[in-house]
Amino acid sequence: MRDFEPQDQLYLGACYYPEHWPEKLWEDDYRRMTDLGLSVIRVAEFAWTIFEPQEGIFSFDLFDRAIDLAHRYGLKVVFGTPTATPPAWLTHKYPEVLNVTRDGVAYQHGQRRHYNYNAPIYRELSARIVRKLAEHYSDHPAVVGWQIDNEINCEVNVFYSQADHAAFREWLKSRYGNLEQLNAAWGAVFWNQTYTDWEQVYLTRPTPSQSPNPHQALDEKRFISDSAISYVKMQSDIIRSFAPHQFVTTNGLFGHLDSHRMAKEALDFFSYDSYPNFAAIYPDEGPDPLLDRRWGFYLSLARDVSRRFWVMEQQSGPGGWVNRMASPSPKPGQMRLWTYQSIAHGADAVLYFRWRTAPMGTEIYWHGINDYHNQPNRRVDEAGRVGREFAKLAEVAGSQFQADVALLRDYDNEWDGELDKWLGPLTKQSELSWYKALQYRHIPLEIVNVGGGVQLDDLLRFKALIYPHAAILSDRTAELLSQYVRHGGQVVFGCRSGYKDESGHCPMRPLPGPIADLCGVNVDDFTLIGTQETAPTVLLGSGAVSEAIFADRFNDVLTITADDAQILATYDGSYYAGKPALVRRPSGSGFAYYYGAAFNRESAEMLIELLDLRSPVQGILTLPPAVELCIRRQPATGEEYWFLLNYSAEEQKIEIVSRHTELMTLRELSGSVAIAPFDVLILKA
């Protein structure tokens, strides 16, 4: 039994670095934090040299004092294990712990995350520092949990040190057993890549035109993920053996990492780091961009990793390193808006990154709530407003995000799609198009990783599932989706579904492979839309298309193979004009849809109509496109909270049919209501 339940109230906090500041500032910092309503700090995740200034010599004094004082102010502490930044003495003495580029160049001391997961000595020294810290802080009354490392696979997510090549060989031996199987899985007969001795086998290495064997590249990503997970699990096992009453989490959502399996095997819950102003650097393309609202998509990914989650770092100022990621200051109200974006999407805690801007180092432009000068400012005021509001939101704790529609994903296709130029770009466009189409219609969406241990019951709560481009589609997943449809669900597939096996080969069978029967289609012919071509449009069966729908990027030309398969739309253009583009087949009490192209906003809108998806507040609230709707529901009582988030710099008008209480102000709202720029309302349903 834990003394502290990470989900029993909404927590607000900050990332704090006592080692960056004169000790005389700490008390004032803690006092002001508690005045603002902050109750949690995260500390120490980069401080290894402070704990172990020389190999095997340990010192806890600085953090003992910092944490004791935090405790006196009633602050709870999440302790970071400091392994993202190995000490200089360590990398100097044991250079084999350094990560290496594919070209063979070792990363050196001077930044962070320059280590690899497989060097035995790094594992040993990591295990020792974690054990020392867990032993020392397991009984500290302020320490409620642990963050393992920091942002696993951030900065760099490929690893080519000698230790990694060696560990890869062992990983392959246990996966394939012998070289014959490995050669078969990697299609090594092609271009004479056949291996005759395990010592010849490596992670991908430089090749002409940087084109590695695609099957080897896919295994490499699986291996990197497994390496990261086993490193995290090593740390979590140690912490749990000393501190079973403190929680274990880690933060961030990065590539080449099966975060779902990591969370299941090593964490109590997952944490995400949310920086919505990255939208200013990497905006989404096309009309009506989502910009900072797109972070709801990433929060949904985090929520699928663990339904209960924390936001361990929430952007609280302008951003950037000295050399990259330059981004503007949040406008007044945006920091608060993004805090509620996290909460609306299901987070139970939000910690601002960071309490105060670092006056030195690479991150002098990643601003915290407090500026360098440490004088009052608008961001501190805004944090205080949120702190006061959180005090009124006690009843929201424990409620969960609700949606009737899910977007399906899996790691194999994500990783394979990085190299596969016929696949990867499709997924990005299709996912964002669906997200946008649903967002602007106020239809909340879940994202579900269908590659792991998902069961039929997990899917039956959804009215529709969208699986845009499942190139690698196992028989198990195909069967699961068939059962879902038989039970009354609706599933939508896009082009390029089911044409690869687990190794990334294209088996000799008609497309779309394991879902051909479910959808009642064969793919007779297919083509990429060349960069100089215009995609054909799609003609709906009724002939009435209010807006042109372009069959984007790739076209699977379909034929129907079952009497009950219904052609809903045909291509209108190119050499396959008149051939089916969208087919629906009933099964049990549900329907499977196969659409031959990548999705864009218009085709997603068309399918939303066909699937009869509606906003859960239709008829109760009328919302303009700029306002996001999120719903959290209490599982026990069914009580619902409707979060209305205005992402625009303009006031927005909404219409409320009945009367509802706004939780932060306790105002009774009905009729025409204005939401100020960047403002948030939380209505009790």
Nearer residue to ligand GLA within complex by CB, 15 or 558:
15
What is the residue whose two structure tokens read 């990867």? 424
For residue 480, which of 491, 496, 468 has the smallest C-alpha distance? Answer: 491
| Three-class secondary structure of residue 29 per DSSP | helix
Neighbouring C-beta atoms of residue 201, cutoff 10 Å = 18
The nearest distance, CB 353 to ligand GLA, in angstroms, is 6
Nearer residue to ligand GLA within complex by CB, 353 or 571:
353
Q: Which residues have a Cβ under 8 Å from the Cβ of 338 and sit 6 or more positions away?
A: 274, 276, 292, 295, 314, 315, 330
516-537 burial, b at 16+ Cβ within 10 Å, e below that, comes to bebbbbebeebeebeeeeebbb
- Structure tokens that stand for 425 in this block: 């770009």
Q: Which residues have a Cβ under 8 Å from the Cβ of 602 and sit 6 or more positions away?
A: 547, 548, 549, 550
The torsion angles phi and psi of 662, rounded to 5 degrees, stand at: -90, 125
For residue 385, which of 661, 640, 648, 665 has the smallest C-alpha distance? Answer: 665
Confirm if 548 and 537 have CB atoms less than 8 A apart: yes
Of the residues 45, 52, 220, 313, only one is catalytic, namely: 313
Q: How far is CA 427 from the centre of its chain?
A: 15
The nearest distance, CB 41 to ligand GLA, in angstroms, is 14
Nearer residue to ligand GLA within complex by CB, 289 or 318:
318
Is residue 151 part of the annotated active site? The answer reads yes
Beta strands 537-540 and 464-467 are unpaired
The torsion angles phi and psi of 498, rounded to 5 degrees, stand at: 65, 30
The nearest distance, CB 130 to ligand GLA, in angstroms, is 18
| Three-class secondary structure of residue 448 per DSSP | strand
**DSSP output for 584-609:** EEEETTEEEEEESSB--HHHHHHHHH
Instruction: List contacts with ligand GLA (CB under 6 A).
Output: 150-151, 273, 313, 353, 363, 366
Beta strands 621-622 and 627-633 are unpaired
For residue 83, which of 54, 126, 51 has the smallest C-alpha distance? Answer: 126
The nearest distance, CB 255 to ligand GLA, in angstroms, is 15
Of the residues 45, 151, 382, 662, only one is catalytic, namely: 151
For residue 165, which of 208, 117, 213 has the smallest C-alpha distance? Answer: 117
For residue 172, which of 216, 124, 113, 128 has the smallest C-alpha distance? Answer: 216
| Three-class secondary structure of residue 630 per DSSP | strand
The nearest distance, CB 363 to ligand GLA, in angstroms, is 6
The nearest distance, CB 614 to ligand GLA, in angstroms, is 37
For residue 251, which of 224, 233, 270 has the smallest C-alpha distance? Answer: 270
The CA–CA distances, whole Å, from 177 to 171, 172, 190, 218, 409 equal: 10, 7, 21, 18, 29
The torsion angles phi and psi of 561, rounded to 5 degrees, stand at: -120, 5
Q: Which residue is nearest to ligand GLA (CB)?
A: 273
Give the whole-angstrom CA distance, residue 520 versus residue 401.
35
Helices (H) and strands (E) in the chain, counts: 18, 25
Active-site residue list: 151, 313
